Amino acid sequence: MKSTQEQLKHKLQHALVAAFGPDYAEVDPILVNASNPKFGDYQSNVSLPLSKQLKQPPRAIAQQIVEKLDVADICQPPEVAGPGFINLKLTTQYLETELRKIQTDPRLGVTPTKNPQRVIIDYPSPNIAKEMHVGHLRPAVIGDCLSRILEFVGHDVLRISHVGDWGTPFGMLIAYLEEAYPQALTTTNTLDLGDLSSFYRQAKKRFDADEEFKEIARQAVVKLQAGDEKTLLAWKIVCQLSSRSYQVIYDLMGISPQIIERGESFYNALLPEIVEELDKLGLSVENQGAKCVFLEGFTNREGEPLPLIIQKSGGGYNYATTDLAAIRYRVQVDKAKRVIYPVDAGQSNHFAQVFQVGRKAGWITDDVEFVHAPFGLVLGEDGQKLKSRSGEAVRLQDLLDGAIAHTRTDLEKRLKEEGREETEEFINQAAQVVGISAVKYADLSQNRTSNYIFSYDKMLALKGNTAPYMLYAYVRTQGISREGHIDFEQLGADAKILLQEETELALAKHLLQLDEVLSDVEQDLLPNRLCEYLYQLSDKFNKFYENCPVLKSEEPMRTSRLVLCDLTAKTLRLGLSLLGIKVLERM
Ligand code: ARG
């Protein structure tokens, strides 16, 4: 099934050719959602930019397009309005037929892309010598959501975590492991080193208290880089400890388990080649002992061109060299056609620079797209970067536990008010699902590029663009089926759909737009568009439900309206699942 928008675009393109000749076959019909539902559902703005080229007033152009436009199976007769817009209003019959088609379609009318690509999403990529903190929230949530959406659209998605698993921060941990757990290095059994956080804290304590230990830690880095076997083993054990403790958090957050951990160390062996290749291409320059590539469009305060260092004066490589190796690998070995980096906006320059070098070196060819999908900061209620009381970045675990605890308090209060008795198991489950969903939704519903204020009260509000509001809308749909003893699955493909009321028509149109929204997110990588769509859906559903009796109406309206409830439920469930959010049957 083709989306309504696609069908209309196609028809407009035909009309353009019929009216003005084959030269106009490639013209974008500029089809958008109508600015005001009074004028219709869609509008084409193509006549305005064509005016100059055709040397005719836009209204006259619009008129000629409309004369050739055959949309009778979809729309009421098109109208030319204002300076030359073409307004299109869907017919009730079209809406009824299309809804029936999606009712039995598990993809709800979203056709898989005709151009499936291998896509790499680089997330959540933490630096693993440390505990996960608030800074890791956004890459995990956004990366997971984008992966789910692109996969659903039909792409072959590789989730690759470019973990910072190499370098100086490991010295302290390796030295501590060797000192406190020497058995770990001699037995083949895995030792229980506790969780990463207590291990890290103990190591840090040791490091801060003892100069001699500091020196040992520094030595450990040198040995690690020199490939000393025992040090490498200690490093591996620390990495495993980190990965395991990260997995606990990903599981709690419901992040897809399909993440492949391919850290910076993976590229170590390739780094000399990368520099050699850049040397051979004549792209690298020696500068005070270091090797650099000079970039276009990047200058320092004095206006001098800015170099990207690819090899330090001591011979060592850096973050940029590793990313260049990853770029080459992702194109040449992984055969990715699109590589997406949901990484904080603070790294915009870094990515613009390595992408530029990647293109100059010929690794990023014209058929491959590398995109940095930047995001803003998570702020505290004071508008400053979110910090714990002791002034450090808040631990991610604490942030999530806090959300669950807050939800639990709210829930217990509400149960008391409603005089409801629920089992401990129900309360635990609901508090976890709602708490985690609230954190994720609060993040995803913001424009990705903006900073946002992290507030439990706001994200847990029952009204507004929040997870609880959305989850409630779903619960309400399920309540209808319970109340009427209706099994939505049994409504059948032969159920007739009849749309009469304004609110019914509005809901129906919205239900048919899921594929349009997903195709927008596929392009611009902004999950807030999907949140907004679902929020509007809940709103339209509520209006419909207030205005149109469902269980109490007569057949055939009753079944038709039940189908609308069912489709709303399915769309909410699918849409939320693409955000990485689970629904509850009751809450
Ligand atoms: N580890 C980095 C950090 O925590 C993020 C890595 C992002 N991905 C990349 N390929 N550079 O800042």
Tell the residue number behind the tokens 């490091």, with chain if given: 207
Q: What is the mean pLDDT of residues 196-201?
A: 83
- The average pLDDT across 138-142 equals 97
Pocket test for ligand 1, best of 125, 130, 170, 264 (most atoms within 8 A of CB): 125
Collapsed DSSP state (helix, strand, coil) of residue 110: coil
Residue 84: DSSP 8-state: T
Does 195 have pLDDT greater than 80?
A: no
Q: Taking 80 as the threshold, does the pLDDT of residue 194 lie above it?
A: no
Q: Does the structure show a pLDDT above 70 at 29?
A: yes
Whether the CB-CB separation of 521 and 527 falls below 8 Å is answered with yes
Quickly state the pLDDT bin for 488 (edges 50, 70, 90).
confident
Q: Which pLDDT score, from 0 to 100, does residue 111 have?
A: 92
Provide the whole-model pTM. 0.94
Instruction: Please name every residue paired with 120 in a beta bridge, in sequence order, or none if there are none.
Output: 158, 339
Mean pLDDT of the chain: 93
Contact assessment for residue 123 and residue 383, using Cβ atoms and an 8 Å cutoff: no
Q: Say what the pLDDT of residue 3 is.
A: 86
- What confidence tens digit (pLDDT) does each residue in 365-400 have? 999 999 999 999 999 988 888 887 777 889 999 999
| Spatial contact of 438 and 460, defined as CB atoms under 8 Å apart | yes
Provide mean pLDDT across the span 24-49.
91
Directed axis angle between helix 467-483 and helix 424-444, to 10°?
130
Q: Match 């992040």 to its residue by tokens.
A: 255
What DSSP assignment string belongs to 417-450?
Answer: HTT----HHHHHHHHHHHHHHHHHHHHHTS-TTS
Which atom of ligand 1 is least distant from the CA of 344? 12
> pLDDT by residue (tens digit) across 231-259?
999 999 999 888 888 899 999 999 999 99
- Residue 302 DSSP one-character state: T
> Which residues of 314-454 form beta strands (DSSP E)?
338-341, 369-372, 378-379, 452-453
Establish how many alpha carbons lie within 13 A of residue 101's alpha carbon, considering only the half-sphere containing its beta carbon: 14
What residue's CA is closest to ligand 1, atom 9?
162
Of 360 and 182, which is predicted with more confidence?
A: 360
The neighbour count for residue 259, using CB atoms within 10 Å, is: 23
**Nearest alpha carbon, ligand 1 atom 6:** 125
Which residue type occupies 558?
R
Tokens linked to 567: 């489709």
CA 80 to centroid of ligand 1, rounded, Å: 51
Q: How many CB atoms lie within 10 A of CB 234?
A: 25
CA of 254 to the centre of ligand 1 (A): 21
Tell me the pLDDT band of 301, cut-offs 50, 70 and 90: confident
Mean pLDDT value of segment 206-230? 92
- Please tell me the predicted confidence (pLDDT) of residue 1: 59
Confidence of residue 104 (pLDDT cuts 50, 70, 90): confident
- Determine the distance separating the centroid of ligand 1 and the alpha carbon of 212, expressed in angstroms: 32
Q: Is the pLDDT of residue 189 over 70?
A: no
Residue 32 has pLDDT above 90, yes or no: yes
pLDDT value at residue 164: 94
Q: What is the mean pLDDT of residues 216-224?
A: 92
Q: What is the mean pLDDT of residues 195-217?
A: 89
Instruction: Look at the chain and count its residues.
Output: 587
Q: Whose CA is nearest to atom 7 of ligand 1?
A: 125
Q: Read off the pLDDT band of 457 (50, 70, 90).
A: very high
Q: Assign 186 a pLDDT band (cuts: 50, 70, 90).
A: confident
